[in-house]
Amino acid sequence: MYKLLMSWNIKAGVEQEYFEFVVREFVPGITKLGIQPTEAWYTVYGNRPQILTGGVADSPDAIHKAINSREWKSLEEKLEVYVDDLEKKVVKATGGFQML
């Protein structure tokens, strides 16, 4: 298994809209593209990205195919309306908590 790790910070003043987008569009959208969400972490204290999230697929090729698709680009553009400092990385899944 391979994991897509993502992190970002939510822009001030759009928190409610952000959470609605993530629940209604982003998570269902990445699931449809073959990435199974596994975790989402909200940083309350410290100098780290506010959101850390991960999703798995069977191979790195499956993840790269998903994140290079038109559908992904659309989801990412919508996400960037609500967030700053978006980063993503594909790694071999270890089964434990992983960070960028």
**pLDDT tens-digit profile of 28-39?**
999 999 999 999
- Token pair for 16: 């409610």
Tens digits of residue pLDDT in 45-66? 999 999 999 999 999 999 999 9
The percentage of residues in the chain with a pLDDT greater than 90, rounded to a whole number, is 90
Strands in the chain per DSSP E: 2-10, 36-42, 51-57, 83-92
Q: In the structure encoding, which two tokens stand for residue 95, read together?
A: 């089964």
Burial of 92 (C-beta count, 10 Å sphere; 0-12/13-18/19+) = exposed
96 has pLDDT over 80: no
Phi-psi region of 87 (alpha: psi -120 to 50; beta: other; left: phi over 0): beta
